[in-house]
Structure 1
Amino acid sequence: MIKQTTILFVGIAFVVLGMTSCQSEKEPTQQDIVKKNVEEYLKPKMNDPESYEFAELKLTDSILYSDNVKYRKEYFEKNLKYDKDDLERQERYKTEIPSMFSEEKVTELNSKIEKNEKILSEIDRLSTELGDKANDVASYTYYYSFRGNNKLGAKVLNEYILQTNPSPDFKVVNLAKNRDQVLLNPNDFPGYLEMIKIMIEN
């Protein structure tokens, strides 16, 4: 009985020791992964990679798949409205100013309207198929800064807007110096690019 108890205690000790060592090997956080990825992406492009000094990395925003669905819908709805208004003008020209009327333009507008309506219908379908996944993150946005030597050898602070993929890889999607270089809908939403490619080819 004593021998069995000793074996049991030794077994428990090994389990506890194993759990302790696992906890000591800390898993990298999202911040750790993003920092590593952006440094690997940026350093080869620097004038003097050896001068690199990390300054700050701060999560500022996230874009959901639903945000990207909304962005794309608004874009094609705007195009559709513009083409429909243009078609109405052509119809008025037909009776009011015949010299301004173009049958070729009408054919072209009808074709564009039909295509945009199909695209909007497909976006709605893909959005429905997304279900709860629509609330998943499509991209993260960070404020990122570091110090490094410029071309003249002076150490300066560099500030960027960093956009990354979602979990688990958090790869760099865009590193923008200015707000106007920021991607408005990185990573779109599942199925969108494949659908657009088919629509363009047809």
Structure 2
Amino acid sequence: MVRVNWCCGILVAIAIGQGVLPVETIQASPWDSILESFSRRPKPPLGGRSEFCAISPRRLPDGIESTSGDRLLFVWNGMISKIEVHAEGVGAPLWSQVVKLDARQAEYTGSPLIAGARYEWWIFNRFAVNETKPTFRVPFQVIESSERERVTLELAELNSQIRDPKKWVSAEEWSRKRSQYFVSQGLFVDAMREILSVQRPSQELRTIWQQIPIELCKRG
């Protein structure tokens, strides 16, 4: 006789009286590869005292974060008071937003970002001695027009594949496939926005939402 126990996504088959060894099969989430890609991203430096962590876009040690769209989603961990978007080298903000104490993301709603341009995300700490000066500045850039056109065409092709009339695809699966594409292009800002766009996430996706901040905000 074989008794099957289900616990925490692991199937354990225990054979009784027949000399069969226990077998364990771990049920992998289809989101695991995306989480693994995010977990390999650069970590904040050791010794940092701030409780704030820029998740998307984030500061890279040997480059600058890129996005393909003219809109983006800012994601962070920690308590801040306000965020702003500045064109590189410009003091006046293109857009600003006061954020609530418990907020951890904000959608950019300013003027469309220009292909090939560089910007800065300014973060203001509500507990800073001088709240009028940004505590952090995170640079990011929009990819060039030619690259943006290529991404747009490839996404259109991917969308046509997903829309196979013979196979129903959930909104979450649609988002996962698009996220995988963005990760493959090194566009983690776009992938993060896609991941967080699902309205009715599965438990697996909720777990990803919880794990990404933990992985990206570990001190490196």
Give me the TM-score of the superposition, normalised by structure 1. 0.24
Give me the TM-score of the superposition, normalised by structure 2. 0.23
- Greater percentage in strand: 2
> Quick one: higher RCO (CA 8 Å, sep 6+), 1 or 2?
1
